[in-house]
Structure 1
């Protein structure tokens, strides 16, 4: 049987690594070892990476739980794609200068929509 969650976990990890390398690049160019050094570019890159680290894990955990409970594969792919697209859109919109507010907004809509939907689905399945 094909597992869905590892696909999205892998793709979101690659996105996180890209965001991490952007932080490392900013650290090198600004010679900032710890913190943001008062540099706005550094701060923005750190927050883009941290935002992904804050939201992606809970989405992936909920996706894995839904998969373990037997959610149909088409729904798992829908929710996985929502999380991936949400995180990518948010990173692009938030990380741009100036920010691309519609991309940031839709990134959060997709991410929060996925998390809320799967939270409710997992609760409902657990109660049945």
Structure 2
């Protein structure tokens, strides 16, 4: 069986590079090397990038563990799509000059959903089927 999670890891890696470039570009534009220099848009881009760094690694690890333990392929695809879509929505919402909270909240909801379903799936495999 071919692993599914590397596909979503690659998509998320591309999104990570995009967020990194967006932050660096804004830094160059406003001539700020460290911190946000009081620039609100740079701060927003930094938070979109930082939030991605905070949530994506643990989510990918959990989805990958769930896949390894034998979760249905279709479920791993759903979790990967939830995570990827959630990260796009969150980054879009946070990065906007005039933020629309619905994007940020939806993005975090999808991210949390992918993490929670993976956690419960792993616990199911380990506690119920492992007995």
TM bin (shorter chain): over 0.9
Q: TM-score, normalised by structure 2?
A: 0.94
Structure-1 separation of matches of 2:122 and 2:101: 31
Question: 1:27 offset after TM fit, Å?
Answer: 0.9
CA distance in 2, matches of 1:97, 1:29: 15
**Normalised TM-score (structure 1):** 0.96
**Residue 13 (structure 2) pairs with residue 13 (structure 1):** yes
**Counterpart Cα distance in 2 of 1:81 and 1:2:** 17
Using the TM superposition, name which of 118-127 and 76-85 deviates more.
118-127
List gaps (5 residues or longer) in structure 2: none
Structure 1 runs (4+) deviating above 4 angstroms are: none
Would the aligned equivalents of 1:20 and 1:49 in 2 still touch at CA under 8 Å?
Answer: yes
Partner of 2:52: 52
Q: Is 1:118 aligned with 2:121? A: no
Q: What SS does the aligned partner of 2:107 have?
A: helix
Match of 1:84 in 2: 84
Matched residue count: 128
- Cα distance, 1:92 vs. partner? 0.7
Offset of residue 123 of structure 1? 1.3
Structure 1: any 5+ residue segments left out of the alignment?
none
Rounded to whole Å, the distance in 1 between the matches of 2:122 and 2:45 is 33
Deviation of 1:18 after TM superposition, in Å, equals: 0.4
CA RMSD of aligned residues (A): 0.9
- How far the C-alpha of 1:2 sits from its partner, in A, is 2.1
